[in-house]
Structure 1
């Protein structure tokens, strides 16, 4: 379906177990691609409404967490996903524009507002007051802003977690060791939405009474992990024990599992909703299907990665979202046919075998006209992959936001710097500290020059430039006593992007 001004759609939110509604208020066709502006409506229900049920509905105002009370509007693709149900057309509630871009969601905004309003009003008021305050408080002998949102015990160490209560609007916490009263603090704070824990030394962790939405856990030594009902993303780090027990709401039916490299073998996530895998080098689709057969969403990021049994994706008959990046090893004949993935409403594949890319476009062309969100970019020839296996800037090749030829220059700069570093390490009798500093300066100046011709280095590109340099610096053995932090300081001083 193609969105038109006035159209009203409903979508089912499984976590909420309710339908939510939105209206297309206008269509913006001023850019390269037309965009629909959608406005969330202040309505939810157990069943789909009739059009007359929504005639007097007002727009949804959101003020949860750090939002100031405002309409929830965003620009999205003009093609409506097939999981949205058309209700009818009414005169648009307003004609406002917005500079917020996003995608068709599943009513998460309505659900988040609903959860927010369940928190006692006095606690919400304290949160909002602190967030707007310039007041300072004392924390472990240091003067800190009361409106602190993020805390990390690497930045400011503390012993007793209850001392964090001086920050009423804290929502993200990272701890790199176990702290006194940690669970008492987490269980009593409805605003901690993101929690990261490392080196805890426990065999069992119980988060069932917390309000965490995104949890990152060091799995080393864990036999059992108990999760809270509102959790929507679990990220695993460390060494995962095979058959570690995970206790999650409805066996993970509403949750995203985020992991690196290998498919974790866990007990208790048989109905897992979504699997996101990064740093994939080699992966068998059969292994995923064996552990998580009911996936509705699968996202794979390669390093680059090789996929075995790509055609077995047809086992996921409920699959709605499939995205891949830098994933290879499959042929055109292994591309699943549209009739085998009937519920698919988003298919994004970036950097994939050239022949497979052509086949995907051909097979799913009709479905795109029916509302499938289809994006197939950066088809690669076999020789390209052979040349770019060790190139940290391979994703720049074909990126529409990066000037043509820059990807090649960046790759050359990386390989030249890496090669020079290997030679210096092999002959440590030279003035190693001075020579490595010179290499870092030349590397950084090279990217300064590239960016001066046409600005293209933003947050993502800056991170990739730094990570590539960090990889080079990690080649230096510890016994050579080179201060790598000082070399990173040189990078920070010289960079102009």
Structure 2
């Protein structure tokens, strides 16, 4: 179904456990493609809207956290997701266009967040807003800091008592590299901290049930039990995850997005997990994922690159709405499930995959795409490409918008040549070892300078990838050779012009 200006839709929000509503205020051409402007409405209910109620609808004004009483208006695909319920069509509430774009139509989460914000006592909300707009400075651990500070890490400023952070009324992101005895007290009394990264804490049991955190990144080394609050949306696990570690969370993980790296940990307590993201995959068995999390609504997988085993078992995820892969192989056209296996599928993205599998996906799902499925299949790879690029950190440049095939190849050549020369020096280091490595670092940076001068294309993402590739090369050098690797990075930063 295609959206039309004036259409009003409802969608059920799992966290709110109510329906929310939106209106399509206009449909217009954006760079040759029809896009719909979707406006969130100030409404929620136990049952979907009735057509008779449409005349009373008002737009949602959002002042949640750092929002400034703004409208939630986004350009979205004109195809209406299947989970959206059409209510009726009335004159659009407003006629403005939007410069904001949204991946997918969402599920009314902004309404949930706004209502959750309004549950916080008004005096605390007012103090948050006043601090966020203030130019005032306060003393913290002997340093003068802006009271409006939003992020803090104990690596930036040393402190002993986490309760001292109360001096910052609008802090929302905290990174810690050890355990603090007053951490629970701080989290329970401060409703604005939305993101916490906790490293090297040394605890066997962690209980965040009384916190307000939306997003938790936690070192799981030694953890036997982790208790989450009901509002938790994102859980990022790193470190050594113990087998059968107990995770206690609302609805056994139904509304949670779980992020893990490399492999699938065996966890207890997430039987109803809704969303799973696995990054840096070398090898992953889809059958194993299915056996642990059969009710997944969303499964997103990133390779290093890597291989997927038993890809045909994907058909067992009958509730799947979103599925994506990137740089993953090991499957072929015969493993692609039929569309009938996924009656609720809204989005199917596969980037850098076997060529025959890519052709089969496009063939099988082309009719579903006409019906509204967001189908995006790109970078179909031939077997010989994979053989040549397994060790190439710039393989994703091949086919990326704004990067020519020639520059993608040159980047790979610079990397391989630099790496080979470093390995050769490691095998037979000379008295001039550090000077030789310095020369290679300079040549490496100058190679990318030369490429970028002809046509500027190295922006933030590409700059990070060039840096990461060099860092990986330097990591090959044993510590006993005494190389000052930080100095090499400084030299790279001085030479690079992008």
Deviation string 1:390-428 (CA, Å, 9 cap, x unpaired) is 111111111123233221111111111111211222232
1:429 match: 430
Alignment of 1:294-373 (within 5 A): 294-373=295-374
State the match for 1:52 in structure 2.
52
Corresponding position: 1:478 with 2:479 = yes
Superposition deviation, residue 430 in structure 1: 4.1
1:435 Cα deviation after fit: 2.2
Q: Distance in 1 between matches of 2:457 and 2:56?
A: 47
Other-structure match for 2:147: 146
Residue aligning to 1:124: 125
Match of 1:386 in 2: 387
Deviates more, 1:447-456 or 1:65-74: 447-456
* Match in the other structure for 2:78: 78
1:24 correspondence with 2:35:
no
1:101-180 equivalences under 5 Å are 101-103=101-103, 104-180=105-181
Partners of 1:6 and 1:469 in 2: how far apart?
A: 53
Deviations 1:200-258 (A, max 9, x none): 11110000000000111111111111110000111111111111111110100110110
TM-score by length of 2: 0.98
Tell me, what secondary structure is at the counterpart of 1:192?
A: coil
Question: How many residue pairs get matched?
Answer: 497
Q: Which residue of 2 aligns with 1:288?
A: 289
Q: Distance in 1 between matches of 2:5 and 2:431?
A: 69
Provide, for residues 109-140 of structure 1, a one-character-per-residue CA deviation record: whole Å limited to 9, x for no partner. Answer: 11111111111111111111111112211111
- Separation in structure 1 between the aligned mates of residue 90 and residue 439 of structure 2, nearest angstrom: 66
Q: Is the 8 A contact 1:225 1:245 kept in 2?
A: yes
Given the superposition, is the C-alpha separation of residues 25 and 452 from structure 1 closer, same or farther in structure 2, using an over 3 Å criterion? Answer: farther
* Matches for 1:254-269 after TM superposition, within 5 Å: 254-269=255-270
Runs of 4+ with deviation above 3 angstroms: none
DSSP 3-state at the match of 2:472? helix
Q: Does 1:468 find its partner at 2:469?
A: yes
Decide whether the 8 Å contact of 1:81 with 1:373 is kept in 2. no
Q: Deviations over 1:271-306 (max 9, x none)?
A: 000110001111111111111111111000001111
Q: Which moved more, 1:87-96 or 1:260-269?
A: 87-96
Q: Give distance in 2, aligned partners of 1:493 and 1:439.
A: 14
Residue pair 1:25, 1:38 contacting (<8 A) in 2 also: yes
Distance in 2 of aligned mates of 1:215 and 1:200: 14
Moved more, 337-346 or 440-449: 440-449
By how many angstroms is 1:26 displaced?
Answer: 1.6
With 485-494 and 195-204 compared, the bigger mean Cα shift is at 485-494
Secondary structure of 1:271's partner?
coil
Larger CA deviation: 3-12 vs 169-178: 3-12
Residues 442-457 of structure 1: pairs in structure 2 closer than 5 A: 442-457=443-458
Deviation of 1:9 (Å): 1.5
Partner-residue secondary structure (3-state), 2:284 = strand
Deviation per CA, 1:458-485: give whole Å up to 9, x if none: 2221111111111011111111221111
Deviations 1:42-72 (A, max 9, x none): 1111111122312221111111111111111
On the 8 A contact 1:424/1:430 being kept in 2, the answer is no
Q: Deviations over 1:172-222 (max 9, x none)?
A: 111111113111111111111111111111110000000000111111111
The Cα offsets for residues 428-470 of structure 1, whole Å up to 9 and x where unpaired, read as 2142222222222221222222222222222221111111111
- Is residue 2:232 matched to residue 1:231? yes
Question: Tell me, what secondary structure is at the counterpart of 2:237?
Answer: strand
1:62 alignment counterpart: 62
Aligned-partner Cα distance in 2 for 1:454–1:38: 37
**2:184 equivalent to 1:183:** yes
Match of 2:278 in 1: 277
**1:494 CA displacement:** 2.2
Q: Contact 1:403 / 1:454 at 8 angstroms: preserved in 2?
A: no
Tell me which residue corresponds to 1:13.
13
Counterpart CA distance in 1 for 2:52 and 2:446 is 63
**Structure 2 stretches lacking a partner, 5+ long:** none
Is 1:193 the counterpart of 2:199? The answer is: no
Q: Matched residues in 1 for 2:414 and 2:351: separation?
A: 24
* Corresponding residue SS for 2:405: coil
Rounded Cα–Cα distance in structure 2 between residues aligned with 1:30 and 1:172: 35
SS state at 2:337 partner: coil
Q: Does 1:42 align with 2:60?
A: no
1:399 and 2:411 correspond: no
- 1:371 deviates by 0.8
1:440 aligns with 2:441: yes
Shifted more, 33-42 versus 385-394: the winner is: 33-42
